[in-house]
């Protein structure tokens, strides 16, 4: 299926033409048929000579309904631009063309209607030149837009128009069926016994019955779907679809159904601004932003000559590279209301708090592009899921886990970490090994795994700390007073290796909890329990002594063999159990392993 929207001045015969091509009535409202004026979006479809089907989104031409026109054209890839032979180019013709050009619609046909009432030649020449200059084309080779003269009343030229529509849709780029879904809703209503039904133009991707989608952050399930009033199990874009949603759903025009996790819902976006043809800056501070079928008031903060920050009245699901049309609905009759094209460059822009931050951001946006590399230059570190939700495939491999980094920032972090570890060791002589969490905080990183990924020799990671890897086990890495105290303690243990010094002796040596902890981390002492320290390797020596006892043995027998007190023997045996040197037989006995 293909989808084409109409465009053109009011009362130039757009609805009449759609009716003649399809045999269907696009004007759905009784008031529209009574007044002969399209007010709402209309929908009709037909088969082309090739057998392909084309659906039309018929839009209003009156200036009061420009917002509705934009809702119809926004998601559609091609346009049938209508100009009446007896009136020629008119104000709304110009405004619709400016809107199409600003939105980036580049595929279309020019249809000159009422060829039975006036010579279509002058209108065709004038309008054709304007559309061609605006970049509208029919085929892939470019050139002038194809122009046809028709009469909806007599049927003149309709067969040629059907053939031209075939050529137009055949030249349209093929949408990606695997693309994430973003279906902008243009109608929402309730059906008794079925619940909420929404309709829209699916530009790409695939929707299937049973799919789970998101609507304003809430998960909804597709109970069933139709395309051109025919039930379907699966529909791929481009297509007109109607989805029956399960549950109580608050849906309305301008909201979107999206693939969960594939879009960033944002109320703040940094954009590159391109003024519309004939518009003059600066932009007003309050405008209306249009994308898809959405029409959302926004505040505009200029950041530079071609950059701005938009604060939207409600979040919209956006990707980098999306185009929003900026319109001033308050302008008077005859004034251009379509003011600018806004290309999205960042959907999670940084805060601008410092003096001069706006100027710096403008310079960055001037060099930005809608890709992951540009995002990373701003955000420095982003998870893969964030990049996907922003519409940017991750560049290359992650630095760790699912984290991607700006190459320059990552190189800078690699250079900073050794200095950060060195400064920590100087400031904390009793615990020179820096905790990973402290390094994470110092480097301003969001995930401890990023710190681990930065560690390079001679730095090493052990027990959640970063060490320089240059200090061997012993007292060499300890402050001099602590090292002297430890050597004195070890001298005392040389004669009686299992008689751990009492708390008073430790205090006399100046070995408090922090000093003992530093000595244990340095490998200069073995801690078997709080306040019970021995020489390194004392546990292995104790195991060798106990292995010579008759098996199994009691705590009392172990205490005698080791020449120590119960204060030391009990925690030492528990330590040996944990290390696998010994094991319990029952509540009283152990044996060597």
What distances in angstroms separate CA 431 from CA 83, 434, 466, 467, 505, one per listed residue? 82, 7, 11, 10, 23
Q: Does domain 264-370 have CATH number 2.40.30.10?
A: yes
Is the pLDDT score of 333 beyond 60? Answer: no
User: Of all helices (H) and strands (E), which one includes residue 435?
Assistant: strand 434-435
Q: Tokens in use for 25?
A: 């009535």
pLDDT range class, residue 446, cuts 50, 70, 90: very high
Residue with tokens 């045996």: 573
Query: 């391109």: which residue's tokens?
Result: 274
For residue 219, is pLDDT > 80?
Answer: yes
Q: Percent of the chain scored above 70 by pLDDT?
A: 93
> Among candidates 411, 423, 524, which has minimal Cα distance to 468?
423
**Which of the listed CATH numbers 3.20.20.70, 2.40.10.10, 3.40.50.2300, 2.40.30.10 matches domain 182-258?**
2.40.30.10
From residue 322, give the alpha-carbon distance in Å to each of 216, 290, 465, 535. Answer: 18, 11, 45, 68
CA distance to 474, 483, 514, per residue, from 533 (Å): 14, 15, 13
* Neighbour count for residue 88 (Cβ, 10 Å): 19
Residue spans of the domains in the chain: they are 2-171, 182-258, 264-370, 371-471, 484-592
Relative to beta strand 53-58, strand 2-7 is parallel
* pLDDT score, position 500: 94
Q: pTM for the whole thing? A: 0.79
- pLDDT at residue 209 above 90? yes
Q: Decide: helix, strand or coil at residue 311.
A: strand
b/e string for 138-159 if b means 16 or more Cβ within 10 A? beeeeeebbbbbbbbeeeebbe
2-171 against 182-258: fold identical: no
CATH fold, domain 484-592, is Arc Repressor Mutant, subunit A (1.10.10)
419 pLDDT higher than 90? yes
CATH, domain 2-171, list 3.90.930.12, 3.40.47.10, 3.40.50.300, 3.40.50.150: 3.40.50.300
**CA-based torsion, 144, 146, 152, 155: positive or negative:** positive
Distances (CA, A) of 25 to 6, 22, 36, 45, 83: 14, 8, 12, 10, 20
170-182: pLDDT as tens digits: 989 899 999 999 9
pLDDT at residue number 472: 44
State residue 471's pLDDT score.
46
pLDDT digits (tens, 9 = 90+) for 127-163: 999 999 988 888 766 678 899 999 988 889 999 999 9
User: What is the reported pLDDT for 33?
Assistant: 52
Yes or no: say if 186 and 199 are a contact pair by the CB < 8 Å rule. yes
Please state, rounded to an integer, the average pLDDT across all residues of the chain.
Answer: 89
Task: Judge contact between 244 and 322, C-beta under 8 A.
Answer: no
Whether the CB-CB separation of 188 and 251 falls below 8 Å is answered with: yes
How many CB atoms are closer than 10 A to CB 179?
15
Supply the DSSP string of 212-254, one letter for each residue: EEEETTEEEEEEEEEETTEEESEEESSEEEEEEEES-----TT
């Amino acid at each position: 299926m293909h989808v084409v929207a109409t465009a053109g001045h009011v009362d130039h015969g757009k609805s009449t033409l759609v009716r003649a091509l399809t045999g269907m009535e696009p004007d759905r409202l009784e008031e529209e048929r009574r007044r002969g004026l399209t007010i709402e979006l209309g929908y009709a479809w037909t088969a082309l000579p090739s057998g392909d089907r084309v659906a039309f989104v018929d839009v209003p031409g009156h200036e009061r309904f420009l917002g509705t026109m934009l809702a119809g054209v926004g998601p559609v890839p091609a346009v049938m631009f209508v100009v009446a032979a007896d009136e020629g180019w008119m104000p709304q013709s110009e405004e619709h063309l400016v809107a199409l050009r600003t939105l980036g619609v580049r595929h279309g046909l020019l249809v000159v209607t009422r060829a039975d009432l006036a010579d279509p030649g002058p209108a065709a020449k004038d309008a054709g030149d304007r559309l061609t200059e605006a970049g509208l084309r029919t085929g892939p080779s470019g050139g002038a837009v194809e122009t046809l003269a028709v009469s909806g009343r007599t049927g003149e030229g309709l067969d040629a128009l059907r053939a031209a529509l075939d050529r137009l849709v055949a030249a349209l780029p093929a949408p990606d069926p695997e693309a994430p879904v973003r279906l902008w809703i243009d109608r929402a209503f309730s059906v008794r016994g079925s619940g909420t039904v929404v309709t829209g133009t699916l530009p790409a991707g695939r929707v299937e019955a049973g799919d789970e989608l998101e609507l304003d952050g809430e998960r909804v399930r597709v109970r069933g779907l139709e395309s051109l009033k025919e039930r379907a199990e699966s529909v791929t874009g481009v297509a007109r679809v109607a989805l029956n949603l399960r549950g109580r759903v608050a849906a309305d025009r301008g909201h979107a159904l999206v693939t969960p996790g594939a879009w960033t819902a944002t109320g703040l976006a940094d954009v590159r601004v391109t003024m519309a043809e004939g518009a003059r800056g600066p932009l007003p501070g309050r405008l209306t932003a249009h994308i898809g079928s959405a029409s959302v008031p926004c505040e505009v903060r200029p950041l530079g000559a071609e950059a701005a920050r938009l604060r939207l009245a409600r979040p919209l699901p956006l990707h980098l590279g999306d185009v929003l049309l900026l319109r001033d609905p308050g302008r008077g009759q005859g004034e251009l209301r379509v003011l600018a094209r806004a290309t999205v460059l960042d959907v999670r822009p940084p805060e601008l708090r410092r003096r001069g931050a706006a100027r710096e951001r403008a310079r960055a946006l001037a060099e930005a592009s809608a890709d992951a590399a540009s995002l990373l230059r701003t955000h420095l570190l982003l998870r893969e899921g964030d990049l996907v939700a922003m519409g940017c495939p991750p560049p290359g491999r992650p630095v760790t886990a699912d984290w991607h980094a700006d190459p320059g920032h990552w190189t800078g972090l690699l250079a900073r970490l050794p200095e950060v570890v060195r400064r920590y060791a100087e400031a904390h002589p009793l615990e020179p090994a820096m905790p990973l969490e402290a390094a994470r905080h110092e480097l301003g990183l969001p995930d401890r795994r990023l710190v681990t990924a930065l560690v390079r020799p001679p730095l090493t990671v052990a027990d959640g700390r970063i060490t320089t890897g240059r200090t061997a086990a012993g007292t060499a890495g300890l402050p001099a007073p602590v090292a002297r105290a430890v050597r004195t303690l070890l001298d005392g243990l040389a004669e009686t290796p299992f008689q751990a010094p009492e708390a008073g002796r430790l205090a006399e040596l100046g070995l408090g909890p922090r000093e003992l902890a530093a000595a244990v981390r340095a490998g200069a002492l073995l801690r078997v329990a709080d306040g019970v320290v021995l020489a390194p390797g004392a546990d292995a020596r104790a195991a060798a002594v106990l292995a010579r006892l008759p098996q199994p043995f009691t705590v009392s027998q172990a205490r005698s063999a080791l020449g120590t007190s119960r204060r030391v023997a009990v925690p030492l045996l528990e330590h040996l159990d944990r290390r696998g040197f010994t094991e319990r037989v029952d509540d009283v006995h152990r044996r060597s392993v």
